[in-house]
Chain A
């Protein structure tokens, strides 16, 4: 299996404050990781750094994507190389219609013939001419994010809490779309990804290969994602971290 993403001793600052320290992560083609961690542990920051948000300054280490050092590569270039991200709280953009962004994504992802199919799959038919995220409900925002990613068709998929603030029905729809996005139902998978989840609800619909717990900007546990989720539910983050530290 080919390398997709390699984080080497990654250190990140936001406005002079260190938020990620010495993170090492190695993700290969076909693998899906789940990222757990309490609020403020650096999960979203890690994804923002990987995609290249300029607010997140890399102060140490490197980001290697598909064998290339992309630490200083701008976001849109990383996206063209095959990264994709679904935001936890995407901004509302007045006057910009969802369909215009979808068309752009489809052009880049070579999926122009699939727009209709995916729009239907995520039940977004009535939103195409709406302004981006303006007046969207929690579930609608998430569905729009996943829809954009499906059309963008990235090789490496980052999903920031795709299940938060979403009702049971929507989680099922989103889960199905994520399985497609990560090729979880295919025998030979080319896609890889990281999913951040607080509740773990998305894991009822999408299986994952590895779980990682981030705490205070560092990776403190790694293991089977379902075992980790059990531990977290039983002992909370602090308890889980203590057990991990003991094990290691």
Chain B
């Protein structure tokens, strides 16, 4: 289990983390906090302790979007950065699926006014698990706050994953999301959505690999609700035998907003990628753009690197790695390291 946890960036090391949370199936296994400005607790306890938390439930994600059992009977984490707290060292949260058929999760993260919070969330499963991971995550980024949320998924082949995530970013707030899925899964279906108020900003980056038999339908949506808000959605998708629908949707609901979508796909040997970039403007004076491309590894690139003495595998690996390299501005080095580690693990599988 330790190995599985490490593969999704979970270290349980007080020196490298501000806090730690571990959920096994439906049961909270450990909660630890190493930094003053941050609160971490099981969501059930947080709901008992803070009456006001009810106001945050089902506000960023619609209750109708999930099945009844997920609404009624859930567990999960509550993470909150106190006003003006700068939590640079990441808080880690791990959701481990082992025996249950339906792992029902409800998470809430709140970055209070003026705070900065980094969260690394690793979701993984027992190699022989066959259940479903049904996770609701609601994120609230208050005025002038910044939340960087990095999620690394590493599932086993028979697991189905259907997270439902919503983010509300208040005035001048920033939300940065990184999603990494580099291991086999039977099915992943998700479409996290950010709602942006005045001058708020969201950056979504995802790196997804679909192995044989996997069905992955994922994307990011940004709703630019008020002027000055902006969003960037970047995805890199690799299919090695699986089917991927790579979505992206930016909605401009107010003038003076800006959004850009970039989907790039790469098919290794065989597989299917459907890129669906959507731009939707509901008023004049908006600036929305997208680019989408699906290709293969160019032979001249492989040959070029071989002429520098690399074997074909080394050259291919360097090119794939380059393809997955997304330069995320404002990503803390600790999170970048975890993403790089996950990519390194995946590289071996891809060749």
| Chain A contact residues, CB within 8 Å of chain B | 51, 53-55, 74-76, 79-80, 84-85, 87, 90-91, 93-97, 100-101, 104-105, 108, 131, 148, 152
Residues 298-338 of B at the A interface (beta carbon under 8 Å): 298-301, 303-312, 318-319, 321-325
By secondary structure, the B interface counts as helix
Inter-subunit contact A108/B309 (CB<8 Å): yes
Chain A neighbourhood of B318, CB < 8 A: 96, 100-101
User: A105 vs B308: C-alpha distance in the bound complex, in angstroms?
Assistant: 6
Residues 252-310 of B at the A interface (beta carbon under 8 Å): 298-301, 303-310
Given A51-B307, A55-B303, A104-B308, 5 other A-B contacts at CB below 8 A?
A75-B303, A76-B310, A87-B307, A101-B318, A131-B322
User: A225 vs B307: C-alpha distance in the bound complex, in angstroms?
Assistant: 27
Chain A neighbourhood of B310, CB < 8 A: 76, 104
Interface residues on B, range: 20 to 34
Inter-subunit contact A104/B307 (CB<8 Å): no
Chain A neighbourhood of B323, CB < 8 A: 94-95
Inter-subunit contact B321/A91 (CB<8 Å): no
Q: Quote the shortest CB–CB distance from B296 to chain A (angstroms).
A: 14
User: A122 vs B263: C-alpha distance in the bound complex, in angstroms?
Assistant: 36
User: A214 vs B321: C-alpha distance in the bound complex, in angstroms?
Assistant: 40
Q: Quote the shortest CB–CB distance from B178 to chain A (angstroms).
A: 16
Chain A neighbourhood of B312, CB < 8 A: 74, 76
User: A93 vs B307: C-alpha distance in the bound complex, in angstroms?
Assistant: 14
Inter-subunit contact B308/A152 (CB<8 Å): yes
Inter-subunit contact A85/B307 (CB<8 Å): yes
Which 8 A-B residue pairs are closest in the complex by CB-CB distance? A95-B322, A96-B322, A95-B325, A79-B309, A75-B306, A108-B309, A76-B306, A91-B300
Inter-subunit contact B306/A91 (CB<8 Å): no
Q: Quote the shortest CB–CB distance from A33 to chain B (angstroms).
A: 19
Q: Quote the shortest CB–CB distance from B236 to chain A (angstroms).
A: 9
Please give me the residue from chain B that is nearest to A131 by CB atom: B322
Inter-subunit contact A91/B322 (CB<8 Å): no
11 pairs across A/B with beta carbons < 8 Å? A74-B306, A80-B309, A87-B307, A91-B300, A93-B301, A95-B319, A95-B321, A96-B305, A101-B308, A108-B308, A152-B309
Chain A neighbourhood of B325, CB < 8 A: 95-96
Please give me the residue from chain A that is nearest to B315 by CB atom: A76
Contact among A87, A90, A97, A104 with B309 in the assembled complex (CB-CB below 8 Å)? A104
Known: A91-B298, A94-B322, A95-B325. A54 touches B303 (CB 8 A): yes
Chain B neighbourhood of A79, CB < 8 A: 306-309
Q: Quote the shortest CB–CB distance from A103 to chain B (angstroms).
A: 11
Q: Quote the shortest CB–CB distance from B21 to chain A (angstroms).
A: 33
Q: Quote the shortest CB–CB distance from B294 to chain A (angstroms).
A: 14
Known: A100-B318, A131-B322. A91 touches B311 (CB 8 A): no
User: A152 vs B322: C-alpha distance in the bound complex, in angstroms?
Assistant: 22
Contact among A55, A75, A80, A91 with B301 in the assembled complex (CB-CB below 8 Å)? A91
| Residue among B298, B309, B323 having the largest count of chain A Cβ atoms under 10 Å | B309
Chain A neighbourhood of B298, CB < 8 A: 91
Q: Quote the shortest CB–CB distance from B262 to chain A (angstroms).
A: 12
User: A75 vs B312: C-alpha distance in the bound complex, in angstroms?
Assistant: 9
Contact among A51, A95, A101, A148 with B324 in the assembled complex (CB-CB below 8 Å)? A95
User: A74 vs B312: C-alpha distance in the bound complex, in angstroms?
Assistant: 10
Inter-subunit contact B309/A148 (CB<8 Å): no
Q: Quote the shortest CB–CB distance from A167 to chain B (angstroms).
A: 25
Please give me the residue from chain A that is nearest to B264 by CB atom: A94
Chain B neighbourhood of A51, CB < 8 A: 307
Please give me the residue from chain B that is nearest to A108 by CB atom: B309
User: A79 vs B315: C-alpha distance in the bound complex, in angstroms?
Assistant: 14
Chain B neighbourhood of A87, CB < 8 A: 304, 307
Known: A79-B309, A91-B298, A152-B308. A53 touches B303 (CB 8 A): yes
User: A93 vs B325: C-alpha distance in the bound complex, in angstroms?
Assistant: 12
Q: Quote the shortest CB–CB distance from A142 to chain B (angstroms).
A: 15
Contact among B303, B304, B309, B311 with A105 in the assembled complex (CB-CB below 8 Å)? B309
